[in-house]
């Protein structure tokens, strides 16, 4: 069986963030007989985590939150919740997130696999996102929202898809062209 490097890194991120004995985790067999862990997703829990973990300081949803990082508004017409893709996007933004967390929070945010799944569900739920208001943010967070982009990446969306600035990669392989392992 072959995995792409990006999928493997995302899997390592999710596994590395997981605690043993997750209550919402269930093992099932896939079509090839491989044991796979599935999780329940809760966008309401994800919304609470988005605030409590401090994600809202840098990211916005529904126009609420900071501007230092990409908005996490749910995309219209994008089907389903994919926590692995969400974790892969986090992985690509990890260097910037770790630095901003250290500066703004004084520590790096720790997330379990269940929390990543819930945050992924929130990022995909337009209904849950519509309920987020600035008034529900604690005053300390509301006063600490970052209102400017700190990184010299003009297109965050493209950066998160490719993990690179710009569109001219020269002879280097981009993530989509990476050989599978």
- The string of pLDDT tens digits covering residues 127-176 is 999 999 999 999 989 888 887 665 555 555 565 555 555 555 444 555 55
Secondary structure E strands in 32-123:
35-39, 60-61, 64-65
Give the pLDDT confidence score for residue 37 in this predicted structure: 82
Q: Is the pLDDT of residue 10 over 50?
A: no
Place of tokens 């967070």: 141
The structure's pTM equals: 0.69
Cα dihedral 77/83/84/88 (nearest 10): 80
What is the maximum alpha-carbon separation in the chain? 51
Give the pLDDT confidence score for residue 61 in this predicted structure: 94
- Please report the sign of the dihedral spanned by the C-alpha atoms of residue 10, residue 14, residue 15, residue 17: positive
Residue 64 CB burial class (10 angstroms; 0-12, 13-18, ≥19): buried
pLDDT in tens, 108-122: 999 999 999 999 999
Residue 84 CB burial class (10 angstroms; 0-12, 13-18, ≥19): middle
Structure tokens at 103: 């500066």
Structure tokens at 35: 């044991």
CB environment 98-110: b (16+ within 10 A), e (fewer): eebbeebeeeeee
Give the pLDDT confidence score for residue 7 in this predicted structure: 40
pLDDT in tens, 43-82: 999 999 999 999 999 999 999 999 888 889 988 777 778 8
């Amino acid at each position: 069986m072959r995995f792409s490097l990006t999928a493997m890194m995302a899997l390592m991120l999710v596994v590395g963030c997981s605690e043993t004995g997750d209550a919402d985790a269930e093992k099932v067999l896939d079509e090839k007989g491989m044991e796979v862990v599935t999780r329940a997703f809760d966008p309401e829990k994800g919304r609470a985590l988005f605030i409590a973990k401090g994600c809202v300081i840098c990211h916005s949803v529904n126009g609420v939150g900071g501007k230092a990082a990409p908005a996490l508004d749910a995309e219209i017409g994008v089907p389903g919740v994919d926590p692995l893709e969400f974790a892969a996007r986090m992985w690509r933004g990890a260097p910037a997130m770790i630095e901003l967390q250290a500066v703004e929070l004084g520590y790096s945010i720790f997330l379990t696999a269940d929390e990543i799944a819930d945050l992924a569900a929130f990022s995909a739920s337009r209904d849950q996102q519509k309920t987020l208001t600035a008034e529900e943010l604690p005053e300390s967070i509301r006063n600490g929202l970052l209102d400017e982009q700190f990184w010299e990446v003009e297109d965050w969306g493209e950066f998160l898809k490719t993990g690179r600035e710009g569109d001219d990669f020269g002879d280097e392989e981009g993530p989509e062209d990476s050989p599978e392992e």
